[in-house]
Structures are given as C-alpha cells and as structure tokens.
Amino acid sequence: MERKKILITGGAGFVGYHLARHLLSTSTAKLVLVDNLFRGRMDAELKTVLKNSRVTFLNLDLTDPRAYLRLGSQYDHVYHLAAVNGTGIFYDMPHEVMRINTATILLFLEWFRKKNARGKILFTSSNEAYAGGLSSFGQLPIPTPENVPLVIADTYNPRWTYAGTKLLGELFLIHYAEHYKFRGVIVRPHNFYGPRAGYNHVIPELSLRIAARIDPFPIYGATDTRSFCYIDDAVAAMVLLMESGKTDGQPIETVHIGVAEETPIRVLVETLFDVAEWRPKKLDIHEAPKGSVARRRGDVQKIKKLVGWAADVSLRDGLKSTFAWYATHPDTKMKNERIKVFV
C-alpha cells in the first residue's frame, strides 16, 4: 500500500506540531512541514519530530510567490494551518495580520488548484469569524451552529483583523473548490489548548503567572465563558474529517471542532489553581478586554454526525498536562500584563 503524502503549513506552530506528532504515531504517511518560523519555534520538541525519516521541513514564506516553486505537488492531504494568530498580535500589528493571512490563502489556493487539485485541503478558520454576531444583533444562539451570519462588528477595532482574514479565507476556499471541483473542508477551532501553545493566550498566561506565584492574581473577564478543547482531541478530529468521504462533496463542509461544555474563566482559573496545588491570597478581578464576547460555545453535533468524533480529554486532565509543560518552559519575556481572553 502506497504511503500518503501530507503537507502541513504552519508545521512549526502549535496545531501543526501536534498534528505532525499525531500523524506520525497513527499512520505511515510522509510529511512535509512548511513554516517561516515567524511564530513557530525550532525548539527541542520540533527537532525531535524532524529527526523522523518520514518528515521533511521547508522554511518558506508563503506570502512570497517564489516559495511555491519549492512546495512540490501530488499531496494526498494538505492541512493549511499557516496564519498570524494571537490576541496581542492583533493589536500590535493588525496591518500585518491582514497582509500575511490574506496573501497566503490566495497564493496557496492558486498553487493548490494548479499543482494539487486531486488532493484534499483542510483550512483552519476560527470561531472568531462569527464573534461579531452577538454585539451586532444582540443575540447569538448558544450553542452556536456553523451557519450563523458572519459579521465584522467594528472595522476600526484591530482585534477584528484576524476574524476578517478568516472570513475571507472561508470565502476563498468555498468558491475556489466549487469552481475548480476539488475536495476540501473548513474547520472552526474552538479554543484549542495544550503544551507548546505559545505564550500570549489565556491558559499559557495563567499557567505562567501561577508558576511565578503572582499575588494578587489578575483575572480579566472572570464571568466570560469558553469551551476549551485539548489539542490531542483537536488534531484527531482534523484527521478524521480529512479521511472521511463524507467531506468530499460540494459545497465543501464547514465544521466546528470543540467541546460541548462551557467554562467560565473564573472556573478555568480555579481549576488551574487546583492542578498546580497553589492559590494566591488575593484575586484581582477586572473587566474583559474591549472586543471580547461574553460567551462562546460552538454546536458540535455536525462533526459527531459526520465522523462520530467527540472530545475525550477532560478539562482537568488537559490543564494538568498543559500547566506541567509551562511550569518547565518559562517565557523569559513575560511581564505582569493583563490577561486577554483568547479566541
């Protein structure tokens, strides 16, 4: 039986790294990981993955048309994960978020339809793509189905630049796939977390502050809720969607990956205190950052019907593994800044 050939863009990032590990442990596929290391890191964990003889790494900037000359072709599956993400980055460099994410998806789809149209592509969107519905309409179904109206609530708020690029990415893929008759699936991740997730999301920041014994302990948006999905569950779901013939039709499917449970940020913090076996003497509670939505929980019935997937890892178990990793991987640049609720 011929081995599958699989391409992962953003392969040095959080999801890309864990996806590669999953595929190496559950398949005989040959993997090509692409990353420009803008956010992804060539750390010990990634170097271990790259030692596998089935893995090739390409350091490429996918906003450069010349990069696509090195990508090759004949991939069975293509996971397009590459994007600039991170709440802090949305505020610090919104113009670059727009440029990089939009240029990448457009150039990538041009390469795919010319060089790899017989393969299948997965595009990671974001639940941030419909976050504007609540502030714009005053209501949003909870749990939220995949077909709610997509809204950019405020074009002047830099937070929405990321959502805008993901919305455009969905439109590009839907209509490219329909016109050029190739297979694909869009996934909207719902708060993936786990080891090696970077340092500017809420769980990493909370973990680092707990490890540093920050007291009083700041919490922003304590009553806001999210549904947190552990990364091992998340990448298994992505592979199931790509392997399934039920996601081969037209129009291509848009599918949530997440958990059914809704967790308040205060409960998240208290659970982390428990797994860390430490708690501060005082909590410093603040309002959520501007632009943050109060509730977010995707309806995950569609993925269950399509491929029979449901998350296995409990929040407590996932947080235990995550905190253990961050407690031994401190961020030397960490400052006692406010914690932003991440997408």
Catalytic residue numbers, as ranges: 162
Contacts of 219 (CB under 8 A, 6+ apart): 265, 266, 269, 283, 284, 285, 286, 339
Give bridge partners of residue 261 from the DSSP assignment.
Answer: none
Residue 302, both tokens:
């569609």
Q: Cβ distance 240 to 312 under 8 Å?
A: no
Measured CA to CA, the distance from residue 134 to residue 59 in angstroms comes to 39
Query: How far is Cα 116 from Cα 129, in angstroms, rounded to an integer?
Result: 27
> Nearest to residue 118, comparing CAs of 35, 61, 180, 33?
180
Report the distance separating Cα 224 and Cα 41, nearest Å: 31
Distance CA 232, CA 23 (A): 11
Distance CA 324, CA 321 (A): 5
Tokens of 154: 């405020």
**Phi-psi map region of 158: left, alpha, beta (phi>0 left; psi -120 to 50 alpha):** alpha
Do 268 and 203 form a contact (C-beta atoms < 8 A)? Answer: yes
Taking the CA atoms of 271, 237, 52 and 43 in sequence, report the sign of the dihedral they define.
negative
* DSSP collapsed to 3 states, 100-120: HHHHHHHHHHHHHHHHCCCCE
User: How far is 158 from 96, CA to CA, in rounded Å?
Assistant: 11
Q: Which two tokens stand for residue 103?
A: 């240029």
What CA–CA distances, in Å, run from 108 to 9, 93, 111, 286?
A: 10, 22, 5, 41
